[in-house]
Chains A and B, each alone.
Chain A
Amino acid sequence: MKNLRWILPALLLAFATPGCVLVSGQFLIDFDLSNFDASTDTAVTREDVDLTTKSDYNDHKNDLKGLSDVAVLGKITNNGATDIGVEVWMTAAPTTYTTPTQVTTNATRLWGPFNLAASATKQVGWDESAKLFSSTGKALLINEIKGDGQFTIYAIANAGTYSFNVDNGVLALVIDFGK
């Protein structure tokens, strides 16, 4: 019986660890990005993301602990004659930058480059996309998810001139929650 003195408290300790990790999980939120064209002939394309419009986010907002997985999805077409690397940049606060230089100077690179040959169309794979997130961008995204859930993202390419369009774009987030 002496052994039970140690085993039972150890079991209790495991089940009652801080934050009650038993009541936790990972849920997926997908935020649709409208179809858009991006070109150096026009102002940079941006999307104001407001996660508070998603019921899953609002339901678990007070229990958010982190970001488990993230992906930018969609079908991208390079309309130009040169190869490009598509990138997504992010600002924590709402912004309205109009040129790629303003974006790369003031925003944080979130994702990319997603390399695309001239005139090519490619659907971004979930696995492939998950690998393209920068650590600094991911950290900023986590802060915003745990904060007000509102931020601005920009789509540009790492070429002097570019023209591409994105169809069926989605920002997919797998969020850690715990009571």
Chain B
Amino acid sequence: MKRAFVFALLALAMGAGAAQAAGPGVGIGPYGGYNIALIQQDTGNGALFGIRAPINLIPLITVEPYYASSNLGDVNGTFGGLSYTRTGFDMKAFGATAILGSIGGGGLKFYPYAGIGSYKMTRTGSSDIKETGYNFGLGIGIPAGGKISVQTRGGLDMIVTGDTSRKFANVTVGINYNLMSGK
């Protein structure tokens, strides 16, 4: 499984690299989407918002600092015949993602990405979770004008909490505006 994933990343990277135009580029863009809590019975799903700034300094790699915020939903349960609600976490994260290839420029772009960030999860009655997290997934860049593209991504965020983790699948849609095309 891991080997297949690595080979897939390699193949996509080589394809993206071959298609990459030379020169640095800088963009910025807001995005929004939905976080789905995986194997977590004490917090729900919720909306996800953020902003990211892709910086393409070399042909093969785009580095993308990001900030994200998510309000996870409540969990409702019935215990002993009575109904209860547990407030979901508020999650905030910042970090950087490495993208194989570039997300701007002409043409449809498919790209894998992986990143690392600092995550903070808070809610009443629970100790704050402040841990390092990882994210990875696949994205599609769709041109929508000279400097604008629509970015759609599907991925997984994994916040490591000791020997376990909290994981979220997410789908986002955003706009990328090229501040500097680099061409």
- Which residues of chain A from 39 to 83 have a CB within 8 Å of any chain B CB? 65-66, 68-69, 71, 73-75
- List the one stretch of A2-10, A84-92, A97-105, A150-158 in contact with chain B: A2-10
Q: Is the CB of A26 within 8 A of B134?
A: no
Instruction: Answer whether A16 and B2 are a contact pair too, CB < 8 Å, given A65-B164, A69-B42.
Output: yes
Q: Which residue of A lies closest to B58 (CB)?
A: A3
Q: Which residue of B lies closest to A135 (CB)?
A: B127
What CA separation (Å) do A15 and B167 show in the bound complex?
Answer: 13
Q: Is the CB of A178 within 8 A of B124?
A: no
Q: Is the CB of A170 within 8 A of B40?
A: no
Instruction: Answer whether A4 and B10 are a contact pair too, CB < 8 Å, given A69-B86, A123-B82.
Output: yes
Q: Which residues of B contact A15 (CB under 8 A)?
A: 2, 5
Q: Is the CB of A30 within 8 A of B125?
A: no
What CA separation (Å) do A131 and B123 show in the bound complex?
Answer: 10
Q: Which residues of A contact B145 (CB under 8 A)?
A: none
Q: Which residues of B contact A176 (CB under 8 A)?
A: 161-164
Q: Which residue of A lies closest to B165 (CB)?
A: A21
What CA separation (Å) do A169 and B81 show in the bound complex?
Answer: 10
Binary interface profile of B, 61-75, with partner A (CB < 8 Å = 1, else 0)? 100000000000000
Q: Is the CB of A73 within 8 A of B163?
A: no
Q: Is the CB of A128 within 8 A of B125?
A: yes
Q: Which residues of A contact B87 (CB under 8 A)?
A: 127
What CA separation (Å) do A128 and B124 show in the bound complex?
Answer: 8
Assign chain A's interface to a size class: 35 or more
A54 shortest CB reach to chain B, Å: 13
Q: Is the CB of B40 within 8 A of A12?
A: no
The answer to the question of B6 belonging to the interface, with a C-beta cut-off of 8 Å to chain A, is: yes
Q: Which residues of B contact A30 (CB under 8 A)?
A: 77, 79-80
What CA separation (Å) do A126 and B77 show in the bound complex?
Answer: 10
Q: Which residues of A contact B2 (CB under 8 A)?
A: 12, 15-16
The answer to the question of A24 belonging to the interface, with a C-beta cut-off of 8 Å to chain B, is: yes
The answer to the question of B39 belonging to the interface, with a C-beta cut-off of 8 Å to chain A, is: yes
B45 shortest CB reach to chain A, Å: 14
What CA separation (Å) do A35 and B125 show in the bound complex?
Answer: 25
Q: Is the CB of A22 within 8 A of B158?
A: yes
Q: Is the CB of A3 within 8 A of B60?
A: yes
B1 shortest CB reach to chain A, Å: 9
Q: Which residues of B contact A22 (CB under 8 A)?
A: 158, 165, 167
Q: Which residues of B contact A28 (CB under 8 A)?
A: 41-42, 77
Q: Which residues of A contact B77 (CB under 8 A)?
A: 28, 30, 126, 172
Binary interface profile of A, 9-27, with partner B (CB < 8 Å = 1, else 0)? 0111011111101101111
Task: Beyond the given A14-B114, A168-B79, please list 20 additional residue pairs across the A-B interface where CB-CB is below 8 A.
Answer: A4-B10, A4-B13, A7-B98, A7-B114, A11-B6, A21-B160, A25-B39, A25-B167, A26-B41, A27-B39, A27-B41, A68-B42, A126-B84, A127-B86, A127-B125, A130-B125, A170-B80, A174-B42, A177-B164, A178-B163
Q: Which B residues form the contact surface with A (CB < 8 A)?
A: 2, 5-6, 9-10, 13, 38-42, 58, 60-61, 77, 79-82, 84-87, 98, 100, 114, 116, 123-126, 134, 136, 158, 160-167
